[in-house]
Amino acid sequence: MNNSTQKLSIRWLYLVIGTAAMLFAGIIYAWSILRAPLEAEFGWAANNMALNFTLTMCFFCIGAFLAGILSKRLGVAVSIIVAGLIAAAGLVLTSTLSGSSVVLLYLFYGIMAGTGIGFAYNVILSTVSAWFPDKKGLCSGVLLMGFGASALVLGNLAGSFIRNADIGWRFAFRFLGISLGVVLVIAGLVLRKPPEGTQFPQPKAKAAAGGESFEPKDYTTVEMIRRPSFWMAFVCIIFLAAVGNSVISFASQLSQSVGATLELATVLVGVLSVCNGLGRILTGAFFDSLGRRMTMLAANILTIAAAGITLVAVLVHSLPLCIVGLCLTGLSYGSCPTVTSAFTSAFYGTKYFPTNFSIMNFNLMGASFMATASSALLTSSGGYIAPFILLLCLSVAALVLNLLIRKP
């Protein structure tokens, strides 16, 4: 019994290491900070910078998908180490850009770094989550909190390097690349899947109390995508994440449009990031204690409130309401990746989780395209009312899908 307890205790060490690795991997979300010196030095247009981030997210999803297929053959150590070296090389090579071609930025940052980080993201999440079948939501929430906090922690550190004329943006990219490579190599050398036959604490059976009870089963990816529950959840999460994706892209300008100073707007972007990280871990804890159904409904209602309150803030030109809306948006957006991971594991099992999760994770691409649509609406309408009407409609549509989701 003591030996079993000792073996299980290592899972908490794995969670700490996995969270640290995710913190460094999440640097791709600090693009709004990292893009500024490239625009200033090379004169690349805003649409070029936006395209790079879109490519990064697309290849992040592709990297996660490739991890689902290849990680079993390569093993945890090789998968994470190789992914880390590819991502690190992408960031370091970005530091060598001369401005001769924006295509090299797409290749180094968008394709190499995006693919490597996506690959590592899937392997780390699936490896560490395998140690927590009794705490799926909490484990996913902690790991994804680390990933989401990167823009705040490492992004601000990179920003201080960039603003210092004696250090500069090239050093910032090299520092981030080398640090990411070192941390992922260490994670790859340490993290392991639980041995066959490991006895875990049994999860508390609270789902049935919420009106949702079904026989646990491991679904293959083909079986999963044939089920209506998958498509309802997939589209639902796209609509929910679209609200956060859209607001993050213009949070500073939105705040200033209702009376915030530039300094306060910058602080509010940080607050949004903090709430994003908080939403991830809180959603994980709720998922374990309240069950899937109640957690997803709560996240959905929170998203509707976020879009609705921010719309009212724009209509009445209220800065306090806008601050409330931004905080709620951060919390609701943070719930999306945790729900994606915990839902996939709870509904479709752990045996095929890496591949199943990589497929479900493509909702990031869908949310990005929805965010692009809301940004285009902002440009065409010349104000924030039309985009937030769209986002409010999407969050209500998500609620309808949410209510229709039943057992796998």
pLDDT tens-digit readout, 263-297: 787 778 778 878 888 888 888 888 878 888 899 99
Measured between alpha carbons, how far is 383 from 248 in angstroms, rounded to an integer? Answer: 16
Measured between alpha carbons, how far is 303 from 325 in angstroms, rounded to an integer? Answer: 10
Q: How many CB atoms lie within 10 A of CB 222?
A: 9
Q: Give the pLDDT confidence score for residue 1 in this predicted structure.
A: 44
Tell me how many degrees the CA angle 286-336-347 measures, rounded to the nearest 5. Answer: 70
Q: Mean pLDDT, the chain, as a whole number?
A: 86
- 285: which 2 tokens? 């804890």
Measured between alpha carbons, how far is 267 from 283 in angstroms, rounded to an integer? Answer: 24
Q: Give the pLDDT confidence score for residue 213 in this predicted structure.
A: 62
Residues 6+ apart with CB under 8 A from 107: none
327 in Cβ contact with 310 (< 8 Å)? no
Element (H, E) at 282: helix 262-290
Q: What is the CA radius of gyration of the chain?
A: 21
pTM of this prediction? 0.78
Domain with CATH 1.20.1250.20 in the chain: 2-190, 219-404
Residue 5, pLDDT above cutoff 80:
no
Tell me how many degrees the CA angle 337-70-241 measures, rounded to the nearest 5. Answer: 15
CB under 8 A, 24+ apart: contacts of 107-110 = 109/52, 109/56, 110/52, 110/53, 110/55, 110/56, 110/59
CATH topology (fold) of 2-190: Growth Hormone; Chain: A; (1.20.1250)
Closest CA to 356 of 238, 226, 237: 226
Residue 285 amino acid letter:
A
Task: Report CA torsion sign: 362, 85, 145, 261.
Answer: negative
Q: Give the pLDDT confidence score for residue 2 in this predicted structure.
A: 47
Closest CA to 333 of 29, 39, 36: 29
CATH number 1.10.3720.10 given to 219-404: no
pLDDT tens for 41-84 read: 888 877 787 788 878 888 998 998 898 888 888 999 999 999 99
More reliable by pLDDT, 296 or 1: 296
Q: Which range, of 81-95, 183-197, 370-384, averages the lowest pLDDT?
A: 370-384
Q: Give the pLDDT confidence score for residue 361 in this predicted structure.
A: 85
- 133: which 2 tokens? 């079948």
pLDDT band at residue 85, thresholds of 50, 70 and 90? very high
DSSP H helical segments within 95-167, as ranges? 102-105, 114-129, 136-163
* Angle, in degrees to the nearest 10, between helices 353-360 and 319-348: 150
Most confident region among 214-218, 231-235, 268-272, 355-359 by mean pLDDT: 231-235
- 159: which 2 tokens? 């920003």
Measured between alpha carbons, how far is 297 from 65 in angstroms, rounded to an integer? Answer: 28
pLDDT tens for 290-328 read: 888 899 999 999 999 999 999 999 999 999 999 999 999
115 in Cβ contact with 62 (< 8 Å)? yes
Q: Which range, of 83-92, 143-152, 195-204, averages the lowest pLDDT?
A: 195-204
